[in-house]
A and B are shown apart, each in its own frame.
Chain A
Amino acid sequence: MRRLFAFAFATLLSVGAAQADRLDDIKKDGVLRVASFDSNPPFGFVEPATKQIAGLDVDFAQAIADRIGVKLDVRPTNPASRIPLLTSGKVDLVLANFTITEERAKQLDFSIPYFASGQQFLAKKGTLSSPDQLNGLRIGADKGTVNEIVLRRDFPKATVVAYDDTPFAFTALRNGNVQAITQDGPKLVGLLAKVPDRQNYEIPPFSISSDYIGVGIPKGETRLRNLVNETLRDLGKSGKAAVIYDRWFGPNTEQPLPRLFRIGEHD
């Protein structure tokens, strides 16, 4: 259903692009409107103490707002409404674990990547050890994500079952409806950390794709895009990007992950 919406939009919205300069509008309003996930820890989720959306994506959004010198206004989004929010002008930027793809780049512009992750799997111990086995398994994926598309494309004999979100996919795995679930590696590490009987599960050490995550920017807003790219490069150089990374994936977090990706290496 969500994908149907996204598709209908894609066709409809490729018609007109705004001419006004968005960066000037942002400065005039004094607010940078950003769409981030509210249900995808640690990229974007509602923090229990503050009840506000927080996460890695929000930290990067805050850095961009600080650079422009305006207030940050974060509104929630789901995978399917990211593109419509941008094309209908409801937000200025999308920072929502947004994988850079050619298909999406037809409707919007992307910044340079600020995060990278690989598509991995979570399964009961002993079920899955190499990608060759995937074609014979029932695998749960989150509806409308690049993960689902890649799995269907590269492993046509695997039975893919699409779920509304990761908790439902994991419940299906726990109940035995599927034999593995797929998501971005960092998210699976975070999920596994929360499972009470985590000793029964594992994330096999292989990934089937590497995804670069970028900021979604309205098409043709060159000045805004340059500013976002400069901000990201400066965050990389000054070490602030590493601080943000460590806040969500560092050794003292729920999902410690070695930092392999550096901003500016994959421009």
Chain B
Amino acid sequence: MNLAVVTDNLGYLLVGAWPDGPIGGLALTLILSGLSGLVSAVLGLLLGIGLAMSAGAGRRTLVLGLGFFRAIPILMLIFWSYFLLPILFGVSVPEIGTVVTALALVGGAYLAYGVAAGIESIGSGQWAAGLALGLGRWQVLRVIVLPQALRAMAPSFLNQWTALIKDTSLAYVIDVPELSFVAAQVNNRAMVYPAEIFLFVGAVYGALCLALDRLVAVLAWGARRTSWLSRGTRA
């Protein structure tokens, strides 16, 4: 074991060429995960609501679109949109934009089904009660159904975000200098210490996913507590 290869290159692994060049390494992995996690959550919520509330031709189109993004490998989506769009339409998308869009679209498509299932899991009695109170369909969704459904969806969001963190490494295919890409650069310069370098990289991804897991657990616990408290004061 020669851990010096990791400590000597720690700065590069953490932030890439920054501040002398573009940001990279772990920092870029965090940026890519954060952005695509956020956009995929918004997309998943909107599309999931669409899926649960629509019917007929609109729903069929949505199912078809979601099916496409759930079926296509992220690697292919990144590669083709980066190299094909400039040729077909003359549009040149920057690398980071391509990766975030691809991850968010695929992540959003998966989340949409989780959101739709969460909404459908709320008993029809809740809907009936809301409508009987004189609320509209969308009002019932917003005030009564979603707050309950979102809590049930938390594990599914967590799963998707964990997968997203690890999938950011697919950005290597268009040479985006995220954590595993800069690790490959260091590995190819040092030549003889791949085990040390990639054990470190694996540990970092593990720590990231674990931290996210804890964060969501704390947030979910907080949410349960406030809802329990507010219920208590109302009673």
The answer to whether the Cβ of A145 comes within 8 Å of any Cβ in the partner chain is no
Distance between Cα atoms of A167 and B92 in the complex (Å) = 33
Identify which of B92, B184, B187, B191 contacts A90 (C-beta below 8 A).
B92
Contact at B188–A88, with CB atoms within 8 Å?
no
The answer to whether the Cβ of A231 comes within 8 Å of any Cβ in the partner chain is no
Q: Give the interface segment out of A110-118, A124-132, A150-158, A191-199.
A: A191-199
The answer to whether the Cβ of B69 comes within 8 Å of any Cβ in the partner chain is no
Contact at A167–B187, with CB atoms within 8 Å?
yes
The answer to whether the Cβ of A28 comes within 8 Å of any Cβ in the partner chain is no
Main secondary structure of the interface of B (DSSP, over half): helix
Identify which of B83, B177, B188 contacts A167 (C-beta below 8 A).
B188
Identify which of B175, B177, B192 contacts A194 (C-beta below 8 A).
B192
CB distance from B110 to the nearest CB of A (A): 23
With A52-B20, A196-B192 known to touch, is A88 a contact of B86 (CB < 8 Å)? Answer: yes
The answer to whether the Cβ of B44 comes within 8 Å of any Cβ in the partner chain is no
Distance between Cα atoms of A75 and B92 in the complex (Å) = 15
CB distance from A183 to the nearest CB of B (A): 11
Distance between Cα atoms of A242 and B200 in the complex (Å) = 40
Contact at A171–B87, with CB atoms within 8 Å?
no
State the interface size on chain B (CB cutoff 8 A).
Answer: 33
Please, which residues of chain B bring their CB within 8 A of the CB of A75? 175
The answer to whether the Cβ of B12 comes within 8 Å of any Cβ in the partner chain is yes
The answer to whether the Cβ of B21 comes within 8 Å of any Cβ in the partner chain is yes
Identify which of B16, B173, B188 contacts A45 (C-beta below 8 A).
B188
Distance between Cα atoms of A120 and B83 in the complex (Å) = 34
Distance between Cα atoms of A58 and B17 in the complex (Å) = 17
Q: 0/1 per residue, A219-250, Cβ < 8 Å to B?
A: 00000000000000000000000000000000
Contact at B173–A171, with CB atoms within 8 Å?
no
Distance between Cα atoms of A51 and B87 in the complex (Å) = 32
A78, A191, A196: residue with the most chain B Cβ atoms closer than 10 Å: A78
Identify which of B12, B17, B86, B189 contacts A89 (C-beta below 8 A).
B86
New A-B contacts (16) at CB < 8 Å, excluding given A76-B175, A167-B193, A196-B192: A5-B173, A13-B87, A39-B184, A39-B188, A45-B185, A45-B188, A46-B17, A46-B186, A46-B189, A90-B86, A166-B188, A166-B191, A167-B187, A167-B192, A167-B194, A170-B192
Can you identify 11 A-B contacts, CB atoms within 8 angstroms? A48-B8, A50-B20, A51-B17, A52-B17, A78-B175, A81-B173, A81-B174, A89-B86, A167-B187, A194-B192, A196-B192
